[in-house]
Amino acid sequence: MASDDLTLADVGEFALIDVLAQVFVASARPSVEVGLGDDAAVLAAPSGRLVVAVDQMIEGRHFRRDWSSAHDVGRKAAARAMSDIAAMGAVPTALLVALAAPGSLPLAWARELAEGLATEASVVGASVVGGDTAESPTLVVSVTAFGDSGDRALVTRSGARPGDGVFLAGRLGRAAAGLTVLSRGHRQPKSVVAAHRTPEPPYAAGVAAAAASATSMIDLSDGLLADARHIATASGVVIDLDRSLLGGDDDVEAMARNFGLDVWEWVLVGGEDYGLLATFAPEAVVPAAFRPIGRVSELREGREGPVLVDGATHRGAGGHEHFMPPS
Amino acid sequence: MASDDLTLADVGEFALIDVLAQVFVASARPSVEVGLGDDAAVLAAPSGRLVVAVDQMIEGRHFRRDWSSAHDVGRKAAARAMSDIAAMGAVPTALLVALAAPGSLPLAWARELAEGLATEASVVGASVVGGDTAESPTLVVSVTAFGDSGDRALVTRSGARPGDGVFLAGRLGRAAAGLTVLSRGHRQPKSVVAAHRTPEPPYAAGVAAAAASATSMIDLSDGLLADARHIATASGVVIDLDRSLLGGDDDVEAMARNFGLDVWEWVLVGGEDYGLLATFAPEAVVPAAFRPIGRVSELREGREGPVLVDGATHRGAGGHEHFMPPS
């Protein structure tokens, strides 16, 4: 049997771990005191604290093997978890990877997944320092990301104040457009398909936002309205988005028209763009990666909210939520 | 509909997160700078480093809902991950939990799972500080555990030296006995069924071993022979176990006889006992939780190994390995 035809059931767990470890060791960083191959990894935390987040990608739910390569899935799994670290204003430094996979999974797919994970980690100088493998009917890639914030204050969801500006780093609606393209049997335009397969979180913008004293921040995973609601609720404010500042991607608008769809559903509700939504006080010097898209105002009894578009609640789907039937 | 009958599909992801957060917040610890409800959690790492490990429990593979309660599954998922932290000689301080679950999962099951996770974490003063939820055909509970080692040197798998003694904290074969009992349709003896459902890792023994300068350590998850092999291979030595020092649980021996099974398969090969296997130099003052079970000797060309029982390679199954058919 050619080695490319081997499955996990052919080689077993320990050989799988060897293959993954070879990929990850090749990208190991000196900040790791104990890396792969022991009961646990040991991370340096020179600032005396560590930022941590976990995120899962589940086959059939978050990716399809006929729509994304293993390398794509690895890159996206790492990007999603590291995006959460960036959204706190920290720099991702290390990843742990838990892989649950059926025995029928090709060993080559697992190797390419590892290469994708290591590739995305290397974008920010991070590395995979350990993990776990187990047999499962459903393929699940779960990534725990670790980040260092140095001496900067961390940016939570709860610090937005009335009068702050609302800013966006990244683009909107492109991942949803890409998913629509794929689900209708097409493979292009490539730029939006790539936005779905391998989102590119603006990691550096997260650090810059923290350095510029952003008052709140979140990464755009659930969709703009849903994620703005997370900030508004945590901060006890209203976020008012300005529709004229949200559009701008002509190709995506044209695509929506071709499909007979409303581009605003992609822009406002479509998730997985992995940009950063942040608020800054009026006097802040906002980093260049961010553009203004709205304002924070006071929460008032009887007024609509907590997220408004041009002063009114958006009527339409509410964004992605797991376990619920699509709305 | 009574609230106990609700499923995740009835309430959706955000309500599920609220329910889990209520359980976890009730057990939150002051060492957490930012806990649940943000993009990431922020852990204090006063010693300048953090020990990290991830472990997965998959329905049908690691647990069955008709054999274990949700509370049991939560306790065991936390115990398995924290056992890896203890095996480095560190104290578990925090957990992240990734839950992948079908929409048909009762909300009450998820709540009890969270209670079990929080309960086990509280055994060592740790708490659940964050996580992720997603819809999946297969129920997967993935736990990332964090630990603090203070000023102690960490204990890896690779420091065993010829002449060291081999020591065990915990008992052997009881979890495998419990699993056999359950798989044959019985629910007792309760002590061995409990060993399968809710193992109790000797967390304090891990810290004590590090303080007593253990030369190597591992937790017993794959089975005594397989885990001893991990130490022997990483250290480049032979581990020779003394069969007369391994037995001793008369009730388990009697159970094996009743089933017509060889108790040594449970003791040597049966995994998931979550004791600690450690090596100590001859002059070490070994903590009371450990008892001697063998010796470390030199790896020599042409000699059997790397793990021997009474001087010879054990003929039989090799321990549990994912993806491979049972041997």
Candidates B43, B84, B101; nearest CB to A39: B84
DSSP B269: I
pTM: 0.94
Q: Where are the domains of chain B?
A: 12-148, 165-309
Residue pairs between chains A and B whose CB atoms are closer than 8 Å: 247
pLDDT band for position B317 (50/70/90)?
low
The answer to whether residue B322 neighbours chain A at the CB level (below 8 Å) is yes
| β-bridge partners, A321 | none
Of all residues in chain B, the one with the smallest CA distance to A58 is B136
Candidates A37, A43, A132; nearest CB to B54: A132
Yes or no: domain B12-148 corresponds to CATH 3.30.1330.10: yes
Q: What does the pLDDT read at residue A327?
A: 45
Produce one character per residue of A3-19: b if its CB has 16 or more CB atoms within 10 Å, e if not.
eeebbbbbbbbbbbbeb
Candidates A13, A46, A62; nearest CB to B48: A46
Q: How many Å separate Cα A79 from the centre of its chain?
A: 5
Tell me the residues of chain B between 213 and 242 that have a Cβ less than 8 Å away from chain A.
217-219, 234
Chain B environment of A109 (Cβ under 8 Å): none
Q: What does the pLDDT read at residue A151?
A: 87
Tell me the residues of chain A between 164 and 223 that have a Cβ less than 8 Å away from chain B.
217-219
* Shortest distance, CA B85 to any CA of chain A (angstroms): 6
pLDDT band for position B327 (50/70/90)?
very low
Q: Which is nearest to B139 in space by CA: B182, B109, B94?
A: B109
Looking at domain A10-148, what is its CATH homologous superfamily? PurM-like, N-terminal domain (3.30.1330.10)
How far, in Å, CA of A95 to CA of A112, rounded?
Answer: 17
Residue of B38, B217, B220, B321 for testing the chain A interface, max A β-carbons within 10 Å: B38
Indicate yes or no: CB of B157 within 8 angstroms of CB of A56. Answer: no
From the CB of residue A258, how many other CB atoms can be counted at a distance below 10 Å?
8
The answer to whether residue A142 neighbours chain B at the CB level (below 8 Å) is yes
* Shortest distance, CA A293 to any CA of chain B (angstroms): 21
Residues 6+ apart with CB under 8 A from B6: B106, B107, B108
Candidates B39, B46, B136; nearest CB to A138: B136
Please give the CATH topology (third level) of the domain spanning B165-309.
Phosphoribosyl-aminoimidazole Synthetase; Chain A, domain 2 (3.90.650)
Q: pLDDT digit string (tens) for B55-74? A: 999 999 999 999 999 999 99
Q: pLDDT digit string (tens) for B283-311? A: 999 999 999 999 999 998 878 889 999 99
Chain A environment of B56 (Cβ under 8 Å): 98, 100, 132, 134, 136, 142
* Shortest distance, CA B89 to any CA of chain A (angstroms): 10
The answer to whether residue B82 neighbours chain A at the CB level (below 8 Å) is no
Residue A44 pLDDT greater than 90, yes or no: no
Of all residues in chain A, the one with the smallest CA distance to B320 is A13
Residues 6+ apart with CB under 8 A from B326: B317
The answer to whether residue A137 neighbours chain B at the CB level (below 8 Å) is yes
ipTM: 0.93
Q: pLDDT digit string (tens) for A92-110? A: 999 999 999 999 999 999 9
The answer to whether residue B327 neighbours chain A at the CB level (below 8 Å) is no
The answer to whether residue B117 neighbours chain A at the CB level (below 8 Å) is no
Judge contact between A105 and A169, C-beta under 8 A.
no
Residue A16 pLDDT greater than 70, yes or no: yes
Residue A230 pLDDT greater than 80, yes or no: yes
* CATH topology identical between B12-148 and B165-309: no
Q: pLDDT digit string (tens) for A108-150? A: 999 999 999 999 999 999 999 999 999 999 999 999 999 999 8
Indicate yes or no: CB of A322 within 8 angstroms of CB of B9. Answer: no
